[in-house]
Amino acid sequence: MNYCNHCGEKVNPGQEFCFNCGSELKKQGEQSQQTGQYYQKPSNSQSQDSGSPGWGILGFCIPLVGLILWIVWKDDRPRDAKSAGVGALISVLVTGLMYIIYFIILAALLSGM
Ligand SMILES: [Zn+2]
């Protein structure tokens, strides 16, 4: 529960003006946000969720690890999960593309013989 800066009356979170004295409560709302009274998720996990391209490189080098990281992180660390998942996806696509090119060249060589 918050209190009006001006008169000390109880006010609800998110309320913009005091019902008792009519003074603006926006500043107090910002203060209560800092003390965590707005029931927001702790920012600890968010600060770790940097979406670092390093996870993409890891996912690219080891697609299986990228896939596992994506599954494990997709709820808690969506940005890191996306980075690792995209790295793994690109790795799989590039590998698949190389196989396709290889078979096209092989087919061309065989048909030319
Ligand atoms: Zn007031």
pLDDT tens, position by position, 37-50: 455 555 555 567 88
How distant, in Å, are the alpha carbons of 8, 10, 85 from that of 28? 12, 12, 41
Q: How far apart are CA 68 and CA 93, in angstroms?
A: 17
Which is higher by pLDDT, 43 or 29? Answer: 43
Residue 36 pLDDT greater than 50, yes or no: no
Ligand 1 centroid to residue 7 C-alpha, Å:
4
87 alpha carbon – ligand 1 mean position (Å): 54
The pLDDT value recorded for residue 29 is 44
User: Whole-model pTM?
Assistant: 0.51
- Ligand 1 centroid to residue 18 C-alpha, Å: 5
Distance 109 CA to ligand 1 centre (A): 86
Q: How far is the CA of 17 from the centre of ligand 1 (A)?
A: 8
Distance 39 CA to ligand 1 centre (A): 24
What per-residue confidence (pLDDT) applies to 5?
A: 82
Q: Which residues touch 82 (CB under 8 Å, ≥6 apart)?
A: 51, 70
State the pLDDT at residue 1. Answer: 73
